[in-house]
Amino acid sequence: MFLVLLTLTSSCALSKKSLESKTPEDKLALAMTYYGKGQYFKAIPLFEELLPVYRGTDKRAEIYFYYAKAQYEMDNAIMAGFHFKRLYDQHSLSEFAEESLFMHAESYYAQSPKWSLDQTPTYEALQAYQNFINIYPTSERVELCNNRIDLLRDKLERKALEAANLYYRTRDFRAAAIAYENLFLEFPDIENPSDLYFLAAMSYYKYAERSFIDKQGERYKIAIDKLKLVQTLYPEHPEFSTCDDFIYRSKLGVLSASVNMIYTKPLDERVPAVNEAIQSLEKAVWMDGNESYESQRQELLERASYINVQTHYELALLSEENQQYRWHTDLVNISNYYLDSFGSSKNAREVQKIRDYSRTFIDRF
């Protein structure tokens, strides 16, 4: 073993001494020989040694190119990409400039991971290929660059789609809606866009459904617009009737939110709020012919009318003496409207008692 080690050490020493005695031209020839044989690990240190020697000469661009190419062939894509770009920046007029800029993009392409991982190198590769096309629009490599760009965009498209679907499955509907819409903007030629438009619309609906009361009305209106857009763009979509169903539900959601919001307002602001809610419910003729939704509309209208009676009753009791007659008079009229419309409801007896009390007050007055 000792003899073997002694022999290897002597051999290395002689080899190093042999290299030191060679001229730069001999070392370059040897480095190119190693490169041609695919022995890049031997060529790289020689190229590194020769780069400062040939600084300021035309030969340096060639040495630098093969040094970067050897790094690339050794699967050192990060190192290779850096040196190819540096070579282009330093020798943009050399015969190696075009291929160096292309290989800079190829180095990022080699780093692009599978779709489920971080895609930073993919974006950098896209930018590098586009930069090459902009600088060398007539190059024979442009077609390959475009093919690479398509493959990279397919990877980004899949990642974005899987992310949107994941948000939807995990009920993060706000994130899902945004993710689906970003898909249309970033990948306008994506497959099955009609299904994605439908999922985006449903995400907006479900986001509104789970929102706080003060945000529901506004968000249901957005859902209505998105559902109608699906019907406009894709009238033959198999979920066309489903969109109709959820448009009705969203309209009910807007009305329900307007009723629910009444109790969140101070007493003196409830009258205009409840009047607006009642008017909206009365104008909602699009419910006609649909028993389920018409029934829910009537329930909301009854509830809003009952809140109206309660609100006027409280205001009548709390108002100044010189204002009480007016409030009780209004209360009688509002109670009569409620009893005429909802005389068989569970709140009818209470409303009748309130009306009788106001009538008695007016008679005494």
Say whether pLDDT at 329 is over 90: yes
User: Model-level pTM?
Assistant: 0.76
Summarize pLDDT for 316-325 with one digit per residue, the tens.
999 888 888 9
pLDDT above 80 (res 308)? yes
Q: Read off the pLDDT of each residue in 27-47 and give the average, rounded to a whole number.
A: 93
| Rounded Cα distance, 74 and 38, in Å | 9
Region 279-287 average pLDDT: 77
Beta carbons within 10 angstroms of residue 310's beta carbon:
20
Judging by beta carbons within 10 Å of its beta carbon (0-12, 13-18, 19+), is residue 253 exposed, middle or buried?
buried
> What average pLDDT score do residues 278-295 get?
76
pLDDT digits (tens, 9 = 90+) for 221-262: 999 999 999 999 999 889 888 998 899 899 999 999 999 999
**Count of Cβ atoms closer than 10 Å to residue 355 Cβ:** 21
Total residue length of the chain: 365
Q: State in Å, rounded, how far the first CA of the chain is from the last one.
A: 124
Q: How far apart are CA 220 and CA 216, in angstroms?
A: 6
Q: Which amino acid is at 83?
A: H
Helices 321-342 and 348-364: crossing angle in degrees, nearest 10, is: 140
Q: Categorize the per-residue pLDDT at 94 as very low, low, confident or very high, splitting at 50, 70 and 90.
A: very high
DSSP code of 57? S
Residue 198 near residue 239, CB atoms below 8 Å: yes
